[in-house]
Chains A and B, each alone.
Chain A
Amino acid sequence: MLGRLRDIAGWREQVIEPAPDTLHGLRARLAQQDGVLGQALQGPGVQAAVNKVVVRGDAPLLAGDEVAFMPPMSGG
């Protein structure tokens, strides 16, 4: 969780096991754990990166994949 999403979640990194099959599945799992975070992940401009590559829409996930959720960037 990066930026404001980290504040909303209250954590930066978490190991989620077993790994959901898809990015949508991961979002659903996180929303189940924390409704406020689930809402925030659907917010405007929130992007997801799987293994440091930005993914649009859904994507398959494998055990060991790293998923990052990024709110709109602030720039440098």
Chain B
Amino acid sequence: MVRVQTAALDPGALLGEFCAGRTDCGGVVSFTGLARAATDGAAVSVLELDAFPGFTEPAIEALVQTARVRFGVRDTMAVHRYGAIRPGEAIVFVAVAAEHRRAAFLAADFLMDKLKTEAPFWKKETGPEGERWIEPRAPDYQDAERWSEDI
């Protein structure tokens, strides 16, 4: 399941929903991304994510499908927030269910690295020093690059 929404994310509720009634998988790995109060030392009072509904979801779906095929996992959930997000609030929730834990860990790690660099969102940070549009940082690209090699 892939969803983008402006409403607040409740990671606990999403994880509960994802695990409910599941008897075919021995492992569920989840990741929750939170908005930070500072980036590289610069204070951030609000993070604004622009999305392109109808375009952003299929692009995320394609990343999810790649993860499912590559790691042979049974099920995935990816919920991404957009709009104005305050420090401490959840931006993204990803969960992966697999028969055994290793595939679930790897698929969740892969999916987050891909989301961080390839998902169609545009981010603007607003702080005391004004506004700035941001792009993926070098470490984000390095993280995503790890998956181009066999590991």
With contact pairs A74-B123, A76-B115 given, residues A68 and B55 touching in the complex (Cβ less than 8 Å):
yes
Q: Which residues of B contact A74 (CB under 8 A)?
A: 49, 121-123, 133-136
Is B118 in contact with A70, judged by CB distance below 8 angstroms?
no
| B120: contacting residue among A6, A7, A73, CB under 8 A | A73
Is B54 in contact with A73, judged by CB distance below 8 angstroms?
no
Residue interface bits B116-151, CB-to-A below 8 A is 1, else 0: 111111111000000001111000100000000000
| B118: contacting residue among A3, A4, A73, CB under 8 A | A73
Q: Check B92 for interface membership: any CB of A closer than 8 A.
A: yes
Q: Which residue from chain A places its CB closest to the CB of B125 in the assembled complex?
A: A74
Residue interface bits B42-58, CB-to-A below 8 A is 1, else 0: 00000001101011001
Is A2 in contact with B136, judged by CB distance below 8 angstroms?
no
Q: Check B98 for interface membership: any CB of A closer than 8 A.
A: no
Is A68 in contact with B122, judged by CB distance below 8 angstroms?
no
- Chain B interface residues toward A at CB < 8 A: 33, 49-50, 52, 54-55, 58, 60, 80, 91-92, 115-124, 133-136, 140
Q: Which residues of A contact B123 (CB under 8 A)?
A: 74-75
Q: Which residues of A contact B120 (CB under 8 A)?
A: 70, 73
Q: Which residue from chain A places its CB closest to the CB of B113 in the assembled complex?
A: A75
Is A75 in contact with B116, judged by CB distance below 8 angstroms?
yes
Is A75 in contact with B52, judged by CB distance below 8 angstroms?
no
Residue interface bits A59-76, CB-to-B below 8 A is 1, else 0: 000000000101111111
- CB B13 to nearest CB in A, in angstroms, measures 20
Q: Which residues of A contact B122 (CB under 8 A)?
A: 2-4, 70-71, 73-74
| B136: contacting residue among A4, A70, A75, CB under 8 A | A75
